């Protein structure tokens, strides 16, 4: 099995807060992420696909095709957006890094499969020190 990872970036704002909680409780749990005036991140997205290389091209998947899919399905929808307000991805769900990886997976799996590859992992860096991995509903090690 071979793995190919494509990196893309996007910038987005969000706020983590539970509407039914007090401001104090939200700050206690979410810290600066509960800021009333939102806050933003320069997200660094790594999408990994897997499969056997094509015997003619040697590709698991054409990296340009993968880039196009990621841009159309994720970057074009999230870049410079307020995740809480500008998308329907997070209706009733907090836009945490963990939830973002799940939603990104949901938007990428079908077009990547249609392009003849398999989605293996979505890794999203929120900062240089924090990232989340998602390996799909079955999980992987």
From 14, 33, 41, 107, active-site residue:
33
Question: DSSP string of 82-104?
Answer: ETTTS-STTTTS---HHHHHHHH
Residue in 5, 20, 4 with CA at minimum distance from that of residue 59: 4
Identify the DSSP state of 99: H
From 2, 28, 39, 80, active-site residue:
80
What percentage of the chain's residues is helix, strand, coil (to nearest 5)?
Answer: 35, 30, 40
Distance CA 55, CA 3 (A): 15
Catalytic residue check, 33: yes
Distance CA 6, CA 43 (A): 14
Distance CA 125, CA 60 (A): 24
From 14, 73, 107, 126, active-site residue:
126
Which positions are catalytic? 33, 80, 126
């Amino acid at each position: 099995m071979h793995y190919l990872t494509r990196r893309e970036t996007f910038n987005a704002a969000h706020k983590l807060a539970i509407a039914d909680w007090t401001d104090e409780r939200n700050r206690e749990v979410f810290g600066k992420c509960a800021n009333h005036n939102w806050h933003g991140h320069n997200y660094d997205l790594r999408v990994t696909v897997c499969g056997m290389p094509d015997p003619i091209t040697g590709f698991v998947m054409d990296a340009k095709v993968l880039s196009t899919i990621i841009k159309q399905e994720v970057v074009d929808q999230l870049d410079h957006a307020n995740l809480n307000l500008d998308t329907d991805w997070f209706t009733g769900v907090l836009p945490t890094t963990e939830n973002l990886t799940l939603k990104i997976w949901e938007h990428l799996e079908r077009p990547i499969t249609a392009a003849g590859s398999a989605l293996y992992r979505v890794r999203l860096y929120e900062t240089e020190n924090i990232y989340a991995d998602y390996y799909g509903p079955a999980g992987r090690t």
